[in-house]
Amino acid sequence: MNLKKIYKITIIFIFLASTIVYANNIDEEQIDLTQIKQELAEVSSNASNIPDINSRSAIVLERTTKSVLYGKNEYDVRKMASTTKIMTAIVVIENADLYSTVTISKKAAATGGSTLGISEGDKITVCDLLYGLLLKSGNDTAVALAEHVGGSIEGFADMMNEKAKSLNLVNTHFVTPHGLDNDNHYTTAYELALLTNYALQNQTFANFVETKNHTVTINGNPKSISNTNELLGNLNGVYGVKTGFTNGANRCLVTACKRDNLDIICVVLGADTKKFRTQDSIKLIEYAFKKYQMFDIEKIVNENFSKWKKENISKFKINKGITNNIDLEIPNINYKQYPIPKESINNISTLINCKYTFDAPLVENTTIGNLQVIINKDTVLNFDIVNKIGIEKKNCFNYLKDFLAKFFKYLTINF
């Protein structure tokens, strides 16, 4: 075999190898969502039973309280594929002018896999690149944004990791803005749900991920794109968020869904097929809404605390204090509603534990006990009870004043 043939074979091999590497996040599997929903109709009618799912890792997180309503290996470290782009987007949104124009580099244009289809030298706004990132799941747009905001992929990855650190995501690490397989690029279902919850608090991000179809402009020319999220517009209450697929991560899907006042994030990682990914997500979403409802926890806490305080306030004694009067409150009820299993609504109670005797001085906002919220004998919430006012210790003048008051009272009664 001559050198010319060897050279040609080598070029072909390199091309095929690069195609395989880049193609590992193009999920070409077709699903029939109508058929899936029909298959799950019977499952949904019994959705209060804990679902059996294919995904290796999953979680359902209630957004207001960050309560875990369902978990399967939710703290295990896993590859995350294009769900990475949730972090990519929020870092860009927080650090870039969305209406600035980006000129596409050779590196960004050459990035394969799932792409928007931009070429070297193309001009496109940051905003439209974000649409390409979050709807079309473009790896080319991810690189273009990373270069624009972070100067390079490495510089942008540093920004991603700094953001993860600020959000206390201790089991999450980023190497790329697109999520192609890398052993040092990982998260957990739990931390991905927390990241998504944070991102959705940004209305700009929320507007992107709830968009089903959009027309971007490249070099002044329109191009229509559609969201890869198969549940958006097809399942009641779904308003985002992001799909993902690589050979290493398998199929992944992050979904936000709200019905009435129950707002959840569902994450499935490592499903064998897109069909399983979709089925698992629907099962978990329906389970959460069938099983849980938001309960006015603030009302029951305040009612029971007020009743207890009225019955017990006279029991408190401050040894050597200038007063025996205390002013109690629960200062840290951070949310009004809390997700409760529907069958447990009538099994909610509170238990108050506290001391009744203290030695002066008593510092302002001293914790004197706690109130526990108990459901089916399990404590689910714990609130501190504090004394709002400081109570000073008596001095000689205070003792003299007390003596004189008692003396004159004695005189008034007896003479």
> Is 123 a known active-site residue?
no
CB atoms within 10 A of CB 206: 16
Walk me through the domains of the chain, giving residue ranges and CATH numbers.
12-294 (3.40.710.10), 316-396 (2.60.410.10)
Catalytic pick among 85, 136, 163, 291:
85
Q: What is the total residue count of the chain?
A: 415
Burial of 256 (0-12, 13-18, 19+ CB in 10 A): buried
> Is 107 a known active-site residue?
no
One-letter amino acid at 183 equals D
Element at 371 (helix H, strand E): strand 366-375
> Is 85 a known active-site residue?
yes
Q: What is the pLDDT of residue 27?
A: 65
Q: Which structure tokens are listed for 302?
A: 């305040």
CB atoms within 10 A of CB 88: 28
How far apart are alpha carbons 371 and 383 in whole angstroms? 5
Catalytic pick among 79, 137, 275, 291:
137
Q: CA 40, 46, 49, 52: dihedral to nearest 10 degrees?
A: -20
How far apart are alpha carbons 180 and 21 in whole angstroms? 9
How far apart are alpha carbons 176 and 84 in whole angstroms? 8
Task: Decide if 232 contacts 238 (C-beta within 8 A).
Answer: yes
Q: What is the pLDDT of residue 34?
A: 75
How far apart are alpha carbons 132 and 250 in whole angstroms? 22
Closest CA to 121 of 89, 144, 152, 95: 144
Q: What is the pLDDT of residue 17?
A: 43
How far apart are alpha carbons 63 and 32 in whole angstroms? 30
How far apart are alpha carbons 239 and 233 in whole angstroms? 8
Give 280's contacts (C-beta < 8 A, 6+ positions apart).
51, 53, 54, 55, 58, 268, 271
How far apart are alpha carbons 415 and 413 in whole angstroms? 6
Catalytic pick among 55, 57, 72, 82:
82
Low-confidence ranges of the chain (pLDDT < 70): 1-28, 30, 37-48, 394-411, 414-415
Q: Which residue pairs, CB below 8 angstroms and at least 24 apart, start in 30-34?
A: 31/230, 31/274, 31/275, 31/278, 33/230, 33/234, 33/278
- The DSSP code for 313 is G
Q: What is the pLDDT of residue 412?
A: 74
Neighbour-count burial for 34-67, b at 16+ CB within 10 Å, e otherwise: eebeeebeebeeebeeebebbbbbbbbbbbbbeb
Q: Which structure tokens are listed for 233?
A: 């517009």
pTM of the complete model: 0.85
How far apart are alpha carbons 277 and 270 in whole angstroms? 8
